[in-house]
Amino acid sequence: MKKVNLHSLFYIPIGFVIIVGCSLSYAGMVTAGTALSTMGGMLALSGLWLMANEVTEARHRCSQLHWAVERSERHCLEVLWKVIQYVEARERWWQGHSKRVGELAMRIAGKMGMSPEKCAEMDLAGRLHDIGLFAVPDSVINKYTNFGVDEFRSVKKHSQVSYEVLKPLDCLSEELLLAIRYHHERINGTGYPAGLAGENVPIEARILAVADSYDAMTHDRPHRKAMSPMQAMQELWRCTPAGYDAESVDALARSLKLMVPRASVSNSATAEQPTNQTSAV
């Protein structure tokens, strides 16, 4: 059944009054016609005023609802951040990693000329990108040797898990979610979870990959000691453009003032498995 517009029904008799008033005036009954026309106009203005009030109240209710949703989602993000801190607290090697990756991703985006809003979004992506690590067993996270095939397969699930956990949040953009999902993809297609290559890897994911790898390489892990900042930058350039996005690596180098002469770096033809293991989580 079609819904009746009550506002339209309200204006039907008003329109009739105005028409009758105009007709009376035309017929010579000026006083009566003017009175009816004036009354109809006043009723019409009253109706408009009531409609304006209804619109204002509806907007206020919508604003309150929007604020409540935003507050709820901010609270959810705060809870998720606590979960990430708990995940990282399982072992000292990982503490502070997500916060540092967010800061690096934000700096890279800034050097690439992205808007302040996009830079803030990259910071948030970095802070949330490894929440899926809760699905990786402690025995793998804290292993003091390189991962075996089965262990590496377990680790590779974490980026997809992160995406699935965060996807229901409307406050997170699709670009941010895809950055988290694909931050272990590599330009030559050797990454995971989807084996994307080249321009098919979203730029946000390429930025996050560089930030994540640099921070992983410059901090101790159970199976290796940290590289120096310059060594890590050289490793990033060695695996560029096969593994990492050249523009993102250059932006990081400029941000950190770690300018490495490209001629001194031997580029690999592929993104080697040891590099993927270095930055696997």
**Domains of the chain by residue range:** 1-88, 92-278
- Summarised one tens digit per residue, pLDDT across range 56-114 is 777 767 766 666 666 777 777 888 888 888 878 877 777 899 999 999 999 999 999 99
Tokens of residue 101, six digits: 């990756």
Chain mean pLDDT for the chain: 79
Which helix (H) or strand (E) segment holds residue 30: the answer is helix 30-88
Residue type, 263: A
For the chain, percent of residues with pLDDT exceeding 90: 45
* Letter string b/e over residues 245-277, b meaning 16 or more CB atoms within 10 A of that residue's CB: bebbbbbbbebbebebeeeebeeeeebeeebbb
Does residue 207 surpass a pLDDT of 60?
yes
CATH number of 92-278: 1.10.3210.10
| HSE-CB for 101 with a 13 A CA cutoff | 34
What's the pTM value of the predicted model, to 2 decimals?
0.71
Closest CA to 80 of 37, 117, 132: 132
| Pairwise pLDDT comparison (24 vs 160), residue with the higher score | 160
Does residue 10 surpass a pLDDT of 80?
no
- Summarised one tens digit per residue, pLDDT across range 174-185 is 999 999 999 999
What's the rounded Cα separation, in Å, for the pair 61 and 48?
20
The answer to whether the peptide bond before residue 229 is cis (omega within 30 degrees of 0) is no
